[in-house]
């Protein structure tokens, strides 16, 4: 037996509305999923450093000391927004320079110095304390920032 299927005007309208809704939902999902990507990093990577001191006595009873940045080396990525928070624990004052990155500052005992930068070149950049430059002044007090690609 042969059965006939009758399409009514109401069914065509319902089908067209359903089809339009599916298309609209697909366009919305595709449009909403498109996001602009920024080349600037949105978050800042933070490193906590402290000033440290080692003391000792020689065999003849003379006291010697050495100052350090701790940690002594940090590794960051080229183009990565970076913040150093350096807390003064030992020593009264540590003026410092990171020449290649154009950074100067001073760490004072009991305070935290914050420096924010975004390195643009790869390399190893020393953090040099200007007070403790050699063995006669409790140094050299040097740390390193390693910038990788």
Per DSSP, what are the bridge partners of residue 50? 70, 87
pTM to 2 decimals?
A: 0.68
Supply the CATH number for residue 116's domain.
2.60.40.420
In a domain, 133, yes or no: yes
Here the tokens at position 44 are 């800042």
pLDDT tens for 84-131 read 999 999 989 999 999 999 999 999 999 999 999 999 999 999 999 999
pLDDT tens for 57-92 read 999 999 989 999 999 999 999 999 999 999 999 989
In a domain, 69, yes or no: yes
Beta strands 103-108; 142-148: pairing state: unpaired
Does residue 141 contact residue 69 with C-beta atoms inside 8 Å? yes
pLDDT exceeds cutoff 60 at 36: no
Range of the domain at 130: 45-148
In a domain, 38, yes or no: no
pLDDT tens for 2-29 read 676 677 788 788 888 888 888 888 777 7
Per DSSP (E only), the strands in 16-108 are 45-57, 63-70, 73-77, 82-87, 93-98, 103-108
Residues 6+ away with beta carbon under 8 Å from 110: 88
d(CA 121, CA 80): 11
In a domain, 119, yes or no: yes
In a domain, 92, yes or no: yes
Residue 83 has a pLDDT of 96
Local confidence band at 37 (pLDDT 50, 70, 90 cut-offs): low
In a domain, 98, yes or no: yes
In a domain, 58, yes or no: yes
In a domain, 65, yes or no: yes
Q: Domain count of the chain?
A: 1
pLDDT exceeds cutoff 80 at 33: no
Dmax (CA) of the chain: 118
């Amino acid at each position: 037996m042969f059965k006939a299927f009758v399409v009514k005007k109401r069914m065509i309208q319902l089908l067209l509305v359903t089809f339009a809704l599916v298309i609209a939902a697909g366009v919305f999902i595709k449009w909403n999923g498109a996001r602009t990507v920024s080349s600037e990093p949105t978050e800042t990577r933070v490193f906590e450093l402290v000033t440290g001191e080692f003391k000792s006595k020689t065999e003849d009873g003379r006291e010697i000391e050495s100052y350090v940045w701790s940690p002594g080396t940090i590794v960051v990525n080229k183009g990565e927004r970076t913040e150093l928070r350096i807390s003064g624990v030992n020593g009264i004052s540590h003026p410092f320079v990171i020449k290649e990155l154009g950074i100067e500052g001073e760490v004072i005992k009991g305070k935290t110095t914050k420096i924010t930068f975004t390195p643009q070149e790869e390399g190893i950049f020393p953090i040099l304390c200007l007070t403790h430059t050699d063995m006669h002044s409790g140094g050299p007090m040097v740390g390193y920032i390693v910038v990788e690609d």
